[in-house]
Structures are given as structure tokens and as C-alpha cells.
Structure 1
Amino acid sequence: MTNSTPPAALVTGGSRGIGRAIAERLARRGMVVAVHYARDEIAAKETVTAIRAGGGEAFAVRADFTETGAVDTLFDALEDGLREHTGSTGLDVLVNNAGVGCSGDAGHMTEADLDRVITVNVKTPVFVVQRALPLLRAGGRIVNISSAASRVAHPQIIGYAISKGALDAFCRSLAKQLGPLGITVNNVAPGLVDTDFHGDRLRGHPEAAAEAAALTAFGRLGEAADVADIVAFLTSNEGRWITGERLEATGGAYL
């Protein structure tokens, strides 16, 4: 990277919730951020507008990870955007945040639901990394968003837990592979965070929200910014000696 080339980041699922908070946080650090989205173009544009209003730079890239060829679609748009906004296709930070849920215990989960969650939450991050490797500069950073569900038993979302457990295993092996390049790989595992991802489970249900908050050491639900700040640290120079780790961002839940 030359002095005239700004650092660049890709945040998948960057238009809403934790992804948006991460995108905005990295932009405040002077990174040009590619904000990936699947369907909600309005939210993606709002995120880009918010970043630019704060003095940063960003652009949106669309790819629906449930569709065949989505990773190719993503990187075609990403490389065009990077050239336009940085003059290079170089990438410094990759955050694999995009994910889907999967309801149902072992007796009720459907094959279609399991296929979908494995495709989006496991296969896609693997092949996004594969496509990103030629673009990642030495000293780059990869962060995958895992979940507390990969450590704590949640039978009612067993397919989701399986997918995040696989992502944790991927992190460790990838960190070993990329260490010689100075590239760190870490997973951040949030607990319950007040975002659209949990939908009606918490919002509009004060009792359920209070029960979830009581699980944490601080007596409150997580906020997207709580997770984004951890990602910002791991992707900074200060996080250079941490790799292959799974950091819980649960506020002490399930201690």
C-alpha cells in the first residue's frame, strides 16, 4: 500500500445491525468501506450516506448469498468499486458478518433450512476468503462474526449453532495458513444484541428482553456498537498479536 492509497475494507451484511455498526466504525478510522447487502438496497444506501456524512467514504455492493454465483457477483462489484474509490483492488480488512438464522431442534429442522444456513454461514465465508486472498495486502485482517450459540447449548436453533461452530474451526486453520503473511484471522462471537436479526423475539416483548438482559453480567442487552468496537480493535495494528482466537462479545452472558 502506498501513501496515496487509502486502506479498504469489505463488510458483508454491512447495511444493517452489527454489520452497519462495523462499517461505520471502520470508516471513522479512515478506511474506504465496501458495504455488502443482499436485498435491502435502501438500507445499504442509508449506511453509505451516513458514512459519507461523517466524513468517510463507502460504496455499496449487492450479492444474494443464497443464489448461485453470488461470490463472483460480489467480487466483480467489489473490485470495480475499489478501483473507483482507491485506485487499486487492494483490500486490508475483510469482515464476514452476513448470516442467516435456522429455527428448529434436531427433530424439526428441515433439510432446506440446514442447506440454507450452511450455504450462507459457512460455505460463503470460506469462498469469500478464497476470492479475497489475492487482494489482501500483507498485514491484513480477517474477522468472522460467530455466535455464543457455538459454545452454549441452544437446541431450538441447532442448525445455526452448527454453522457457527464450523466457522470457529475455519478460523483456527485459516489463521495458521495466513500467519506467514502477517494476516490475522479471528472470530467475534456476540450474544443477544438488540438488532433486527432477532426480530420479534426481543423488540416489543419487554419480558423476553428483560430475561435476556438478566443473563449478562451488566444487566443489559448488547448493542451493535459493543461488537463493532471489538472488531475495530482486532483489525487495528494494536490487534496484530491476536490470531486464531474466538472472542466472546456477550457482556458476560452464560458465565
Structure 2
Amino acid sequence: MSQATSSIALITGGNRGLGKNAALALAAQGVDVILTYRNNGDEAQSVVAGIQAQGRKAVALQLDVGVVASFPGFVEQLRDALDRHWQRGHFNYLFNNAGTGLHAMFHETTEADFDELVNVHFKGVFFLTQALLPLIADGGRILNVSSGLARFSLPGSSAYACVKGAVEVLTRYLAKELGSRGIAVNTLAPGAIATDFRDAAVRNNPELQKMIAAQTALGRVGEADDIGGLVATLFSSSTGWVNAQRIEASGGMFI
């Protein structure tokens, strides 16, 4: 795929974890990448360098997906980046990946905890996608991140799982309303993955890993590499007829 005709993916939270892995996997398939980061610009630039090393174009833009008021300014930055680096006004794929974690029992969850989760994982996804609609090419794709926790229940994840459940409902409505533009919208629900997420709670806890492995058909904890390649596949031409679906990638957890 030439640079002139390459597809472009926008990945929120692309500086680490699943977002980083997806960015590199997409680049390996010939896709250019615009990634966002909230705080760590150095991490983001490292990912940009990794994408460029594969011969693709990449740009990192700062964005806090939990602050809806910042979205108009971000859209203008995005328009400028598309024009300067690609000489076009549209991108093809949106991966709503950015997020924060919370482990708190129902009776311990504060209103502030709840509001942050809603702002980042649901309100942010809703209104950022809305703001980006004029820049998403017809025939494009949107992929929203949910969680295995929206299907099975583990104590301490009630608020987090609830907002992910809301994202799954939103996905179906987006698929219905954007179908006239040929835009397919799906949900990707990872299981427990050993990344930096929630202060590397899974990666740094051998006992938790042992428990997860015992409850997973494939007998281990997930890795970022288990997810990034799937994102690239869901954005490939071979999966264009997959729409309004919840795709769980958990290795068969709690089945």
C-alpha cells in the first residue's frame, strides 16, 4: 500500500498498552496512525518512532478523553495534522481505546470515582465520536473497547463494568445510525491482559495471574499481542461485513 493511498487510524490512548500494540500492528499492515496521549508525550513519541521505523506515517496529539470541552480544539488539531501530513481531510478507522481503571467494591465507590469512569469511558466516547464524525471517511470503521467484565462479574468492578456495558449499547446504536454511510461499528471486549492498565494490576500480581489462568480455557493471562493483531484484523478489508458485534478476546475466560 503506497503512502498516497494508505488508510489512517486514529487511536486514543495509543502511547502504551493495547493502544500501542494496536498502533504497531496496524502499521505492520500498511496503515498510518494518529495516536493520542493524555500525559506522557515521550511515550507517545516513542510509539511514533516505532511506526515510522516500519515505513508508515504517524503523529501524536495530546487529548484527555474525559474532558468534552477540549474536543473542538482537538478536532482542529486533527484537521491540521491530516492536512499537513496526508493532504486530506478524513481518516478511516477510529479506535476508542483510552481509559482508566478502578477496583473498588460497590459500597466503597465514590461519586468522584463514578464520574471519572463515566467521563472517560462513556461520555468521552460518545461525544468524541460525535465530534469526529465529519472527519471519518464513508466506509470507515469504529471500534469501541469494552471488557470481559461486561459479561461476567467480579467483585470490585461494578462501576467500571457498568460504563463498559453502556459502550456496548452505544455501539449497536452507532452501527444502526451510521450504516447509511457504510461505517461499521463494533465492540472489542478484552479479558484480563498483562499491561500497564490499572497500575499493572494483572502483570505484577502472580496470584491474580494464577487465578485468571485457572479460569481461562487457554490456560494463561492475555498479553497485548493477543489484542493488537485482532484490532488490525477488524480494521482490514476482510472483515467489512462484521457490524454491530461484540467480539470478546479473553482466551475463553469464565465459559
**What TM-score do the two structures reach when normalised by structure 2?**
0.94
* Kept in 2: contact 1:102–1:114 (CA 8 A): no
Report the counterpart of residue 203 of structure 1 in structure 2. Answer: 203
Give the drift of 1:76. Answer: 2.2
Give the drift of 1:200. Answer: 4.6
* Kept in 1: contact 2:193–2:203 (CA 8 A): no
Report the counterpart of residue 102 of structure 2 in structure 1. Answer: 102
* Kept in 2: contact 1:102–1:158 (CA 8 A): no
Give secondary structure in 2 for the equivalent of 1:134.
Answer: helix
Distance across 2 between alignment mates of 1:127 and 1:227: 25
* Kept in 2: contact 1:212–1:221 (CA 8 A): yes
Residue by residue, what CA displacement relative to the aligned partner does 1:170-199 show, whole Å, maximum 9, x if unpaired? 000110111121110000000011100043
Distance across 2 between alignment mates of 1:74 and 1:226: 30
Distance across 1 between alignment mates of 2:210 and 2:106: 28
- One-letter amino acid of the counterpart of residue 72, structure 1: P
Any unmatched runs of 5+ in structure 2? none
Give secondary structure in 1 for the equivalent of 2:216.
Answer: coil
**Which runs of structure 2 are paired with 1:1-255 in the superposition (5 Å)?**
4-67=4-67, 69-255=69-255
Give the drift of 1:43. Answer: 0.8
- One-letter amino acid of the counterpart of residue 123, structure 2: K
The aligned length equals 254
Any unmatched runs of 5+ in structure 1? none
Give the drift of 1:117. Answer: 0.4
* Kept in 1: contact 2:68–2:128 (CA 8 A): no
- One-letter amino acid of the counterpart of residue 160, structure 1: Y
Residue by residue, what CA displacement relative to the aligned partner does 1:104-146 show, whole Å, maximum 9, x if unpaired? 2221100001000000000111111111211111110000011
- One-letter amino acid of the counterpart of residue 14, structure 1: G
Give the drift of 1:12. Answer: 0.3
* Cα distance, 1:46–1:4 mapped onto 2, change above 3 Å: closer
- One-letter amino acid of the counterpart of residue 86, structure 2: T
* Kept in 2: contact 1:17–1:224 (CA 8 A): yes
Q: CA RMSD in A?
A: 1.6
The farther-off stretch of 88-97 and 197-206 is: 197-206
* Cα distance, 1:178–1:67 mapped onto 2, change above 3 Å: closer
Distance across 2 between alignment mates of 1:53 and 1:6: 16
* Cα distance, 1:237–1:203 mapped onto 2, change above 3 Å: closer
Give the drift of 1:207. Answer: 2.2
Give the drift of 1:3. Answer: 9.0
* Kept in 1: contact 2:101–2:198 (CA 8 A): no
